[in-house]
Structure 1
Amino acid sequence: MRIAIASDHAAFALKAELAATLAEWGHDVLDLGPDSDARVDYPDFGYKLAEAVASGAAERGVALCGSGIGISIAVNRNPACRCALVSDPYSATLSRQHNNANVIAMGARLTGIDMAKACLEAFLSGEFEGGRHEGRVAKLSNPTI
């Protein structure tokens, strides 16, 4: 699977660690930056990641910042993205099963590396259940439905 990953400066180290893990797991990683821990603005990287997922350049995305909140808001500005802020494997699983999330966000200041990897694994292995969730998910991109 091709997975885009992006962060701000606060999550640069976590991004590098997760990108390496994704590659070890056999995924094609599209690292959208930044290239160092020098100060940057998370919206710039959230928008870039959202565009990669929306355009089909990546099947799924991983968005990281200090808390995960700011970058998740930026990604969700794109109506083709359903970015879920997760903190544990169960929330990552539910993001796929119930919300058909195509991006997850995590906070580097709140989530340790082992937990982040467990969340990532749950997100990537989860499948959308459809059924009663389909109509709700459709409304996320088109609220007039």
Structure 2
Amino acid sequence: MEYRKFVHTFVVRLDRGDEILLSLIRLCREEGIRLASVTGLGAVDTVQLGVFDTEKKQYYSREYQGLYEIASLMGSITQKEGDPYLHLHMVIGNPHTGECHGGHLSRGVISATGELIITEIPGTVERREDEAIGLNLFQFHEENG
């Protein structure tokens, strides 16, 4: 991973073999990023995507291996108990095979390159577990507006 900071925006290049979530957590810790939006594209060869079942309150995930373009990567960076909390969704595709898959990103390994833009937002938003839904939701504090 290599990156540059421009005011409140990080331009990130992920390299072959970099795992997306681990790389972003490392960036957050190195740069003190507490709140941001994430967008990106690139190529992956191993991806784990999931969907949350609100009735059973559990994630179902599937791993994909092969040649995939990242058609869309987007999400948020917040905090949970003082640690970076990433909530990212991804759509991958292979026009040659006619495949397209999307969902909550649990793991993604770059096969060629990843180009991410992280836009830092001044402030902090925490996460709290909502037992009724079974997910970690935004928790706003008065000082955040």
Q: TM-score, normalised to structure 2's length?
A: 0.27
Larger Rg: 2
Q: TM-score, normalised to structure 1's length?
A: 0.27
Greater RCO, 1 or 2 (C-alpha within 8 Å, sep 6+): 2
Structure in which a larger fraction of residues adopt helix? 1
Structure in which a larger fraction of residues adopt strand? 2
